């Protein structure tokens, strides 16, 4: 047991970061806005995603009409709970739907349980088109 304590103490003495102020070489760029973040980059052929959220705090979703959003030029896809084969997540129990709405194999996925639960995803050629298409999705 004593040899284990000595090994741990030696390992801690080699770690120069614990208990010390560390100078971040990227700090100035981050606080001034000069450092680019992943969201700052645009690539050729990049697609954008927007989410259609629930506007109700608790409701059963009876129908999702994506026809207007799908017909909008520049829209590559509109996805609902029916399109997600594994439509559940959760930290301990996988009991929360990724997308709320009818058509999911997960029991209870057709119920939104809080304001802003996700109902549909839109993928489009631009952020503006994706946002417009998300607004065109009708949820009953």
Higher-confidence residue of 93 and 65: namely 65
Ordered by start, the domain boundaries in the chain are 2-32, 43-139
Q: Are 47 and 76 in contact (CB under 8 A)?
A: yes
Q: What is the DSSP letter of 38?
A: G
- Bridge-based pairing of strands 75-79 and 48-53 is unpaired
pLDDT above 80 for 6: no
Q: pLDDT tens-digit profile of 91-121?
A: 888 888 999 999 988 888 999 999 999 999 9
Q: For residues 74 and 134, give the distance between their C-alpha atoms in angstroms, rounded to a whole number.
A: 13
Q: What is the DSSP letter of 125?
A: S
pLDDT above 80 for 16: no
Residue 118: its pLDDT value, please?
96
Q: What is the DSSP letter of 111?
A: E
Residue 87: pLDDT band with limits 50, 70, 90: confident
Write the CATH number of the domain with boundaries 43-139. Answer: 3.90.1170.50
User: For residue 80, which of 92, 56, 97 has the smallest C-alpha distance?
Assistant: 97
Report if pTM > 0.75. Answer: no
| Both tokens assigned to 27 | 């700090």
Average of per-residue pLDDT values in the chain: 88
User: For residue 115, which of 64, 63, 58 has the smallest C-alpha distance?
Assistant: 58
User: For residue 100, which of 72, 73, 79, 128 has the smallest C-alpha distance?
Assistant: 79
Lowest mean pLDDT among 25-39, 44-58, 111-125: 25-39
Q: For residues 58 and 99, give the distance between their C-alpha atoms in angstroms, rounded to a whole number.
A: 14
Q: What is the DSSP letter of 96?
A: B
Average pLDDT over residues 17-38: 85
Residue 18: its pLDDT value, please?
72
């Amino acid at each position: 047991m004593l040899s284990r304590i000595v090994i741990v103490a030696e390992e801690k003495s080699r770690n120069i970061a614990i208990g010390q102020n560390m100078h971040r070489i990227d700090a100035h760029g981050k606080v001034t806005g000069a450092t680019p973040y992943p969201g700052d980059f645009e690539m050729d052929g990049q697609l954008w995603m927007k989410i259609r959220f629930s506007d109700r705090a608790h409701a059963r979703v009876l129908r999702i009409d994506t026809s207007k959003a799908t017909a909008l030029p520049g829209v590559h896809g509109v996805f609902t709970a029916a399109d997600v084969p594994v439509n559940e997540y959760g930290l301990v129990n996988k009991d929360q739907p990724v997308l709320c709405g009818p058509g999911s194999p997960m029991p209870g996925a057709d119920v939104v349980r809080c304001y802003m639960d996700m109902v549909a995803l839109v993928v489009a050629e631009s952020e503006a088109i994706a946002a417009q298409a998300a607004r065109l999705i009708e949820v009953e």
